[in-house]
Structure formats: C-alpha cells, structure tokens
Amino acid sequence: MSNAQRLLCLSPAEPPALSVEAAAVPRPGKGEVVVRVEAASVNPIDVKRAGGYGQRLLKLKGAGKFPLVLGNDIVGIVETVGQGVTTRRPGERVFGLVPTGKVGAHASHVAVDARWLRPVGEGQDAAALAALPYTFTTLWQALRKVGLDAGNARGREVLIHGASGGLGRLAIQLLVRWGATVTAICSTANVETCKDLGATSVWDRQRTSLSGLPQRYDAVLNFGAWQDEERLIGALKQGALGSATTVHPLLPNIDKLGWLRGAWQTRRDMRRASGLAAAKGARYGWVVFKPEEEALDALHRLLSEGALALPVGISVPLSEARQAFAHVARRQPGRAILLP
C-alpha cells in the first residue's frame, strides 16, 4: 500500500496543472538514500517548467515529459540507505539537491544519490534551508565561470544584475564576505535591500539606463535578463576576469525554433556574447545547473558560519502548492517552500 505523496505537474499549463497523488515510498538504489522530505522549494525554474519551458532539451534527461515531479531542493530525515552508502544513516537530518530529471523533490519521500546530501546543523530551520541548495549551487557555478573565488575576490569590483533575487542576494552576501566591492542592479523597490545586504553601490534599473554603466568591473553576473547581456559585458574593464549568465537563451531557443535553427541561433548568441567578453580579455560562460559536491561542501561550511540566508515568503503543504507556484510567478518577495 502506498503511504507517500507526490505533487504531479500533469501537463504544461499556466497556471500549473498540479495534483497531489498517493505514491509508493521509493526504494533506495545503489548509492542512494530515501529522504522523508520536510521542506522543498519552488524555484523560478519550477514555475517555468510547469508552463512547458525547456521541454525539448529537458526531455533528453527525462525532465521534459509530463506528468512531472518538479523541485531540486530538499531538507528531511534519512529513512533508508541503499547498498554502498556509508556517509549517511537512518534518522539523520539532511539537506541537499535532487538533479533535474523526471522525479524531483516535490514529494513526501525522495530517493536521492547520497553524494548530493549534507547534514543539517543544530537549530537550522527546514524551510529556510530548503531555499538554498539549488540557488547556491548555481551561484557557485557562475562564480567559477567568471573565475572568482575566496582567494582572489578581495578588492575586485563585481556587477550583479538581478541582485535582489535569490541568486543575487546570495552573490552579494558571499562576495562581500570575500572582500569584493559589489554594485547591485535592481528595481527601485529593492534598492535598500541590496544596500542592507552589503552592496557598495546600487544601480536602479528603473530610473537609470544600463547603457550608462561605467566600464570598470572585474566581473559581471547576469541573473536578471538576457536582453541586457551586451550592455553588461560592455561594463567589464579591459583585462577583466569574466562574465557569466544564468538567463541565457539555450532552452528558449530550442523550444521556439526547434533543434536545428535553435542550435544555430544558440551558437550565434553564445559567439556574439563571448566575442564581446573576449575583446575585454575576459572569459565568458552560460550556467546550466547541475548538482556538485564542491558547492554543497561550501554551502555546508558557510551555513555553519551563519553566513548566508534567503528570506522565505510562503510555506505551504503540498495540497496548497498552487499558492507557492503563484507566489513565484507573481514575483512576490521571499522564496516559496513546500512542506510535504
């Protein structure tokens, strides 16, 4: 008999076609752990995928075919461990990542590779913690693409677009901690938030055009909008480190133009942007999230130092998941968390 639940996303639709269904508790495969989920987040990508975004390319890894179980972040209790798992034990509280695939984190029980889990520290709140792994890992990958790390960030000038969002807030917190000087780009309503997080200066994108940005940055992170990519790369100084974006057109190009024309357009987009960065002597990259042990280790360490947090805007049970998806779709403040 089934005594577990999962949130199915039935077909591509806006608002999403969600349904909570009974399911069997999964069995852990070799190297896997079954986690009883306490909290899982709804990220912007989940809302996009629920509407059909990225279907063509994501189908290649089983992640585009509906019905889908979405979600990449989990916090919960280890129920069972599979063959070969020595790092985790039943009853342990863990947080971590579920790779993008057919079966995501929006469920009461999830089987996940033990490599993608880390222990939860004393007193850490499940909902607050569930907001972090996917977004932090993506940030970590973006920082690697631009060539910034704890050892070389001090004194660097970093420009962050989308600075008031999940990725942007974590980027400000981490880079300020590493000694970088951050300029945050955000909308008027979020200027004070970015300053409070530690940005040295804030560019209000609703009041001042990005074409006026000075060409003085060592690194640029675009978490805001692809249409601004060229102007952002233009703000790199000569001999800059690099520029990276999470809002590239890889998935939308293939969705809209099909495989052949989409791939051709993607190559064009990438070459144009990387050429502009290369003219500044800078490296350039598009980030595609994937689970990573190094990022999880870094997050685990930073959490133990109390160094990172994202505000939670809404926490609801699976049966009220529509509210969480609507919260993200309407860009309401704070992360959206499901409590299965």
Ligand X SMILES: NC(=O)c1ccc[n+]([C@@H]2O[C@H](COP(=O)([O-])OP(=O)(O)OC[C@H]3O[C@@H](n4cnc5c(N)ncnc54)[C@H](OP(=O)(O)O)[C@@H]3O)[C@@H](O)[C@H]2O)c1
Which residues are near ligand X by CB under 6 A?
43-45, 135, 138, 162, 164-168, 186-187, 190, 205, 223-225, 246-247, 287-289
Nearer to ligand X, 20 or 172 (CB): 172
d(CA 244, CA 285): 5
Of 18 and 184, which CB lies nearer to ligand X in the complex structure? 184
Q: How far is the CB of 217 from ligand X (least distance, A)?
A: 17
Output the smallest distance, CB 289 to ligand X, in A. Answer: 3
Nearest-CA neighbor of 7 among 95, 67, 62? 67
Nearest distance in Å: CB 205, ligand X: 6
Residues 29, 10: Cα–Cα separation, whole Å: 26
CA distances from 185 to 109, 141, 177 (A): 39, 20, 19
Q: How far is the CB of 22 from ligand X (least distance, A)?
A: 31
Q: How far is the CB of 292 from ligand X (least distance, A)?
A: 12
Q: What is the CA radius of gyration of the chain?
A: 20
- Name the residue nearer to ligand X (CB basis): 43 or 108: 43
> Among 175, 121, 122, 115, which Cα is nearest to 149's?
175
> What's at 230, amino acid-wise?
E
Measured from the CB atom, the residue of 288 and 307 that comes closer to ligand X is 288
Q: Which of 139, 144, 53 is nearest to 100 (CA)?
A: 53
Nearer to ligand X by C-beta: 76 or 252?
252
Nearest CB to ligand X, comparing residues 71 and 162: 162
| Shortest distance, position 194 Cβ to ligand X, whole Å | 8
In whole angstroms, how far apart are CA 153 and each of 19, 118, 180, 186?
Answer: 45, 26, 5, 22
User: Which H or E run includes 220?
Assistant: strand 219-222
> What's the CA gap between 66 and 213, in Å, rounded?
43
